[in-house]
Amino acid sequence: MANEDKLDRIRHSMAHVMADAVLEKFPEAKIAIGPAIEDGFYYDFDLPRPLQEEDLEEISERMERIIEEGKEFEKRVVSRQEAADFFKKQKQDYKLELLDAIGPDEEVSMYTVGKFTDLCRGPHVDDSSQLNPKAFKLLSIAGAYWRGDEHNQMLTRVYGTAWTNPKELRQYLQRLEDIKKRDHRRVGKDLKLFSTHEEAGPGLIYWHPKGSRIRLAIEDYWRSEHRKNGYEQLYTPHIGKSWLWETSGHLGFYNENMYSPMQVDESDYYIKPMNCPFHIMIYKSDLHSYRDLPLRWAELGTVYRYERSGVLHGLLRVRGFTQDDAHIFCTPDQIEDEILEVLRFSLNIWKDFGFSDIKAYLATRPAEDKSVGDDASWNQATKSLKKAIEAEGLDYEVDEGGGAFYGPKIDLKIKDALGREWQMTTIQFDFNLPERFDMTFVDRDGKEKRPYMVHRALLGSIERFFGVLVEHYGGAFPVWLAPVQGKVIPVAEAFNDYALSVKKDLLAAGYRVEADLGEDRLNAKIRNAQQDKIPYMLIVGEKEQQSGSVSLRRRSGKEQDVMSLEDFHAFMQGKIDQKEEL
Ligand SMILES: [Zn+2]
Ligand SMILES: [Zn+2]
């Protein structure tokens, strides 16, 4: 049996054991569902009182005892009536609802372990001796609506994790600890990078000075790379009249994510959820010959999209964000080169930000009646995407029929320092908008033709990318991104003036530096700088002042290198140019 499969059985069986333990403790409890999930399991309960953290301990102890008793998981295929009678008698209303949802041709099976019988499809372990009482942990309590519907009863969900042995459990708990330590909301607060304000509107990000410094570094780099790669940069409005969104079709298929209109001069204006229609308006304000193409137009465009308040999450899921958007307009002849170019460009950008483990996902045409555009275009577009992925030697998966109705796409997922995958880059063909806006170019033969249009966001949203970046580095940013690249620390007050002159010199050269002239002792100042994850501390005293030098101490080490101020400039510039961490 594959290990994943075995773990799934263990985890789902643990959910049964937990339900058994909960029913021992609260015989009047009603039970809902208890599936295995990634790394663990949960069970939803309707309980007579709210659950406390202390209850988890007691439930765990009961679970250990149940496991040690080594009971069998006994499966019985029963008739609907039998199952209905059983759960009616037990007053398990949720199970009755679940029973109703089982299709007429499906088997109805009940599993019993010890005194506890559940309506379940399985599979499970054979008996609870295959569960390790030292390799599970109940992790948390949350609220969950029955069937995920907020009109239904709120249930208590208990999450747990389970593994084959205690060592695996320990490693997993350590990983959870690491994830928690790097949580961008926590690091963002500690390092004063950003905030959100429920009272001023949830899902909207406030960038503080230190976070803004990082964003500026990201944007400066982004702009300069785009220039080098043949992109023009655009600025477009934040609102557009309903005509624009009717023409683009967004008011039809994207309506749910758009905010209500505001009235201006008796017209409805909508705040933009996307930049594309604006770029198209710019395209359409000129005639284009095949000789002008390809056009690569980029914009750091701020958009607003409605998300339910329940799914908002720090920087990762927000209601307003800035896309690093671009649109490529080209001829059919140019498309292969353009796609290869944009994929290469993306991979280089990811490398510079410190991500090298990247996987591609190619989504192809959905059923013909659910998509627009002709076969030839879809085939050519899909071929060009595939060819580019293969040319770059990327590991990839194909999602057959998983594309949007308007064109095939590549998504890139990057792996962070903890091995988590994040979907970031999208390269998306569009056969819909050029048609709807009647976009044309004049080809070699003098005829008007449709250009190809590709939407492309490399980082995705700057906000979300920033969240991922914070977690990837745990706040210890490489020098080129660090909000404070160096901190000048005098060993005593007598050297404050020299410290200030070092700071002034570095600031004038464009580096982000501060000086700590406070009353703290030297060790405390060093500790503070380390806590702020500042790459370089520049310690200055008598010796340094006399020779015009600094003692360089890295945030990760204890050694100090004395170098002239001039050498430090060159040293730091080298690290920034190479995008090295330290
Ligand atoms: Zn089961
Ligand atoms: Zn677009």
> What digits encode the pLDDT tens for the residues 17-64?
999 999 999 999 999 999 999 999 999 999 999 999 999 999 999 999
- pTM value surpassing 0.85: yes
Measured in Å, residue 35 CA sits from the centre of ligand 1 at 8
* Predicted pLDDT of residue 250: 96
State how beta strands 513-515 and 486-490 pair: parallel
pLDDT score for 369? 84
Cβ < 5 A residues, ion ligand 1: 120
3-state secondary structure of 487: strand
Distance (Å, rounded) from C-alpha 156 to C-alpha 50? Answer: 8
Please state, rounded to an integer, the average pLDDT across all residues of the chain: 95
> Per-residue confidence at 113, pLDDT binned at 50, 70, 90?
confident
Instruction: Read off the pLDDT of each residue in 353-382 and give the average, rounded to a whole number.
Output: 94
Distance (angstroms) between ligand 1 centre and the Cα of 34 equals 7
CA distance 306 to 318: 9
Least confident window among 103-107, 409-413, 475-479, 552-556: 103-107
Radius of gyration of the chain (CA): 30
Q: Which token pair is 47?
A: 């309980």
Q: Cα of 142 to ligand 2 centre, how many Å?
A: 38
Query: In the sheet that 262-264 helps form, which strands lie side by side, from edge to edge?
Result: 239-241, 267-271, 262-264
Pick the more confident residue, 482 or 105. Answer: 482
71 sits in which H/E element: none
Nearest ligand to the CA atom of 324: 2
Instruction: For 557-573, write each residue's pLDDT tens digit.
Output: 888 899 999 999 999 99
Q: Which residues surround ligand 2, an ion (CB under 5 A)?
A: 276, 455
- Between the CA of 12 and the centroid of ligand 1 the distance, in Å, is 6
Nearest ligand to residue 11 Cα: 1
Q: Residue 457 pLDDT more than 70? A: yes
Among the bound ligands, name the one nearest to the CA of residue 280. Answer: 2
Tokens of 315: 């920087």
Q: Which amino acid is at 178?
A: D
178: tokens are 């690491």
Question: Ligand 2 centre from 364 Cα, in Å?
Answer: 18
CA–CA gap between residue 377 and residue 11 (Å, rounded): 47
Instruction: Quote the ligand 1 centre to 27 CA distance (angstroms).
Output: 19
- What 3-state class would DSSP assign to 539? strand
Ligand 1 centroid to residue 169 C-alpha, Å: 22
**Cα–ligand 2 centroid distance for 335 (angstroms):** 17
- CA geometry: angle at 88 spanning 86 and 93, to 5°? 120
| Residues sharing a CB contact under 8 Å with residue 530, sequence separation 6 or more, in sequence order | 537, 555
Q: Please state the φ and ψ torsions of residue 222, each to the nearest 5 degrees.
A: -60, -45
52 CA → ligand 1 middle, Å: 25
Cis omega (within 30 of 0) for bond into 490: no
Pairing of strands 536-540, 486-490: parallel
Q: Which ligand approaches the C-alpha of residue 41 most closely?
A: 1
Residue 25 · residue 9 · CB < 8 Å: no
Residue whose entry in the numeric block shows the structure tokens 């230190």? 210
Proximal ligand: closest to the CA of 453: 2
* 44-78 CB burial, b ≥16 within 10 A, e <16: bbbbeeebeeebbeebbebbbebbeeebebeeeee
Q: Helix (H, G, I), strand (E, B), or coil: what is residue 257?
A: helix
Catalytic annotation, residues: 276, 305, 323, 325, 327, 409, 455
Q: Could you tell me the distance, in angstroms and rounded to a whole number, from the CA of residue 229 to the centre of ligand 2?
A: 19
Tokens standing for 33? 């569902």
Reported confidence tier of residue 1, pLDDT bands at 50, 70, 90: low
Residue 543 is predicted with a pLDDT of 96
Retrieve residue 181's tokens. 């330590």
Angle between helices 462-473 and 209-228 (to 10 degrees): 110
Question: With bands split at pLDDT 50, 70 and 90, how would you rate the model's confidence at 116?
Answer: confident
Q: Which ligand is nearest to the CA of 16?
A: 1
How confident is the model at residue 4, as a pLDDT? 79
Query: Residue 457's Cα: distance from chain center in Å?
Result: 14
Q: Tell me how many degrees the CA angle 572-573-577 measures, rounded to the nearest 5.
A: 120
* Strand-pair partners of 410: 362, 427
- Separation of alpha carbons 93 and 6, rounded Å: 31
Q: SS in 3 state form for 128-171?
A: HHHCCCCCEEEEEEEEEEHHHCCCCCEEEEEEEEECCCHHHHHH
pLDDT digits (tens, 9 = 90+) for 215-254: 999 999 999 999 999 999 999 999 999 999 999 999 999 9
Ligand 1 center–CA 113 separation, angstroms: 10
